[in-house]
């Protein structure tokens, strides 16, 4: 697909490909399965697998390979730095307490939203997403906020690549319908998505802006028991906007302090 400039290190791509071959549906893989999954020879797959075992990122019973917890190291450095999730956590916690709901922060990565921080209310059993998880952007409140705020060209490119799936009866049906919804979201500055991805689940999201830079989107999952949409936005939006502002200020202040 992509061009391969002369500085390109193919082995780096393969290394990551091997690690990513172990996705949610494929916990344990054999040499042959990995070779097929990432389109390399069996010998090559084996070399990479054995190397990653040596490095401690994979383990094997002699036949199948699986990831070890050490793979978490790679993302942990991102989470622990003075990055957005780290800065946002206390604010998301405060908001989670004030609203007694689950709060989350996402960024846009290609066609997906990527959870970078999430404070779940242990009292509720909410959706089983954790940090690093992806959801299709078009079907989520955070995704719609993030796409709506994109420049026109990028937004249209997103729409052209979007693959709408009919999750529930309320899921948006067409690209045109989605485009109209995005216009509304951009105009009002927030998005409420009700039961489009999952029955009985409503998400309310606002953008997190630092000046003109869009840092991410902030979300509150609204439990089914809660009152109607009108009062939800009335009640929650001001607090969410204040939280978004707090995160942005804090992020700018702290990162500016570093050189």
Partner DNA sequence: TACAACTGTACGCAATACGCACAATAGGCC
Partner DNA sequence: GGCCTATTGTGCGTATTGCGTACAGTTGTA
Q: Which stretch binds DNA (CB under 7 A): 41-49, 76-84, 188-196, 206-214?
A: 41-49
Q: Which does 31 bind (CB under 5 to 8 A by kind): a second copy, DNA, none?
A: DNA
- What the block records as the tokens of 110 is 């290609």
Query: Is 52 a residue that touches DNA (CB under 7 A)?
Result: no
Q: The tokens 């302090």 sit on which residue? A: 257
Instruction: Indicate the residue among 56 and 253 with the shorter CB distance to a second copy.
Output: 56
Applying CB under 7 A, among 63, 128, 160, 259 the residue interacting with DNA is: 63
- Contacting DNA within 1-30 (CB under 7 A): 6, 8-12, 14, 30
Residue 180, token pair as written in the block: 């109209």
Q: Residue 122: which of DNA, a second copy, none does it interact with, CB under 5 to 8 A by kind?
A: a second copy
Q: Report the b/e string of 115-152 with b at 16+ CB within 10 A.
A: bbbbbbbeeeebbebebebebbbbbbbbbbbbbbbbee
Nearer to DNA, 31 or 248 (CB): 31
b/e burial code for range 4-36 (CB count within 10 A of at least 16 → b): eeeeeeeeeebbebbbebbeeeeeebbbeebbe
Q: Which does 109 bind (CB under 5 to 8 A by kind): DNA, a second copy, none?
A: a second copy
Between CA 142 and CA 90 the distance in angstroms is: 19
DSSP characters over 38-72 = HT--HHHHHHHHHHHHHHTSEEESSS-EEE-GGGH
One residue of 1, 2, 24, 43 binding DNA per CB under 7 A: 43
Residue from 17, 19, 33, 189 in contact with DNA (CB under 7 A) = 33
Nearer to DNA, 44 or 194 (CB): 44
Q: Which of residues 21 and 178 has its CB atom nearest to a second copy in the complex?
A: 21
Segment (H or E) for 145: helix 141-148
Residue 40 interacts with which of DNA, a second copy, none, CB < 5 to 8 Å by class: DNA
Vertex 66 angle, CA 17 and 129, to 5°: 80
Strand partners of residue 116: none
Candidates 18, 21, 22, 31: give the one binding DNA (CB under 7 A): 31
Sites of contact with DNA (CB under 7 A):
6, 8-12, 14, 30-33, 40-44, 46-48, 62-63
């Amino acid at each position: 697909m992509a061009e391969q400039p002369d500085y390109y290190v193919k082995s780096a791509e393969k290394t990551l490909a091997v690690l990513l071959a172990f996705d949610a549906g494929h916990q344990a893989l054999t040499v042959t399965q990995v070779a097929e999954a990432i389109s390399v020879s069996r010998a090559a797959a084996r070399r990479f697998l054995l190397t990653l075992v040596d490095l401690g990122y994979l383990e094997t019973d002699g036949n199948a390979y699986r990831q070890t917890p050490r793979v978490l190291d790679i993302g942990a450095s991102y989470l622990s730095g003075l990055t957005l999730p780290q800065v946002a956590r206390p604010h998301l916690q405060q908001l989670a307490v004030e609203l007694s709901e689950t709060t989350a922060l996402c960024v846009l990565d290609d066609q997906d939203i990527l959870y970078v921080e999430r404070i779940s209310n242990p009292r509720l059993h909410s959706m089983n997403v954790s940090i690093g998880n992806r959801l299709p952007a078009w079907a989520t409140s955070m995704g719609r906020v993030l796409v709506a705020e994109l420049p026109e060209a990028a937004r249209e490119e997103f729409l052209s690549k979007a693959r709408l799936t009919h999750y529930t009866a309320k899921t948006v049906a067409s690209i045109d319908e989605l485009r109209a919804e995005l216009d509304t979201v951009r105009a009002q500055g927030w998005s409420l998505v009700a039961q489009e991805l999952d029955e009985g689940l409503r998400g309310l999201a606002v953008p997190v802006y630092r000046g003109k830079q869009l840092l991410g989107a902030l979300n509150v999952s609204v439990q089914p028991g809660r009152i109607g949409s009108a009062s939800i936005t009335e009640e929650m939006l001001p607090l969410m906007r204040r939280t978004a502002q707090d995160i942005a200020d804090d992020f700018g202040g702290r990162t500016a302090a570093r050189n």
